[in-house]
Amino acid sequence: MSSETFTTAMFLIAAIISAGVLINAIFPVIYTLSGTITSSSHNVDERLSTDVRIVTTYASGGNDTARVWIKNVGTARISEGNIQLADVFIGTPGNFILLGLAPSGTHTWTYTIHEVTTNNCWDPGETLCIDITSDKIPSKGEAVYFQFVLPSGLSRSITFTAGD
C-alpha cells in the first residue's frame, strides 16, 4: 500500500510540475499574440476608414509645374504629419521620379489643405491641393503619370495628358 501511495504522489508531483512548465511556456505566447492581434486590428481599421480620390489634374511641361487635387472620401482624419510623410511621384509612364517635400531639391511638391474646419488635418470631405515643380513633367500632349502614397500604404495614381 505504501508503494502505491508513493507512486501516486510521484505522478501527482510530476503532473503539477508539468502543468507549471506548460503554463509558463504558453501564457507569454498568448500575451504576445493578443498584443499583435490588437495592433493588427487597429491597422486594418485605419486602412479601411482611410480613402482618398484624385479629383482633377493639370500639368504644364513648358512651366515644369503640375497641380493635383485629391479629396478625402474616407471616414478618417489624415494628420498633417502623414501628409508630409507621403510619397509623391510624377513623370511619364515607366519613367517617373519620387519628389521631395519643398524646399529640398529641384523636384519638389508642396500642399495646401482646403479646410472646412481649421485644425491642420485633412478631414473627410476636404480637398488637398498638391503643387509640383519638376523638369520630369512631359511636354504638351504627352502622358503624365502621378502617384500619391500615404505612410499607411494607401496609394492612388492617375495617368493624364499634359496641357500648356
Which CATH number characterizes residue 128's domain?
2.60.40
Q: Are residues 128 and 111 in the same domain?
A: yes
Q: Are residues 62 and 24 in the same domain?
A: no
Backbone dihedral angles phi then psi of residue 120, each to the nearest 5 degrees: 55, 30
**pLDDT score at 118:** 87
Q: Are residues 61 and 119 in the same domain?
A: yes
Q: How far is it, in rounded angstroms, from Cα 66 to Cα 105?
A: 16
What pTM was estimated for this model as a whole? Answer: 0.73
**pLDDT score at 16:** 85
Q: Are residues 148 and 83 in the same domain?
A: yes
Q: Are residues 44 and 105 in the same domain?
A: no
**Full residue range of the structural domain in which residue 121 is found:** 52-161
Q: Are residues 96 and 58 in the same domain?
A: yes
Q: How far is it, in rounded angstroms, from Cα 19 to Cα 132?
A: 64
One-letter amino acid of 124? P
Q: How far is it, in rounded angstroms, from Cα 46 to Cα 31?
A: 23
Q: Which of 157, 129, 151 is nearest to 85 (CA)?
A: 151
Mean pLDDT score, 145-159: 95
Burial (Cβ within 10 Å: 0-12, 13-18, ≥19) of residue 82: middle
Q: How far is it, in rounded angstroms, from Cα 74 to Cα 46?
A: 10
User: 37-83 pLDDT, tens per residue?
Assistant: 666 665 666 666 889 999 999 999 889 999 999 999 999 999 999 99
Q: Are residues 37 and 76 in the same domain?
A: no
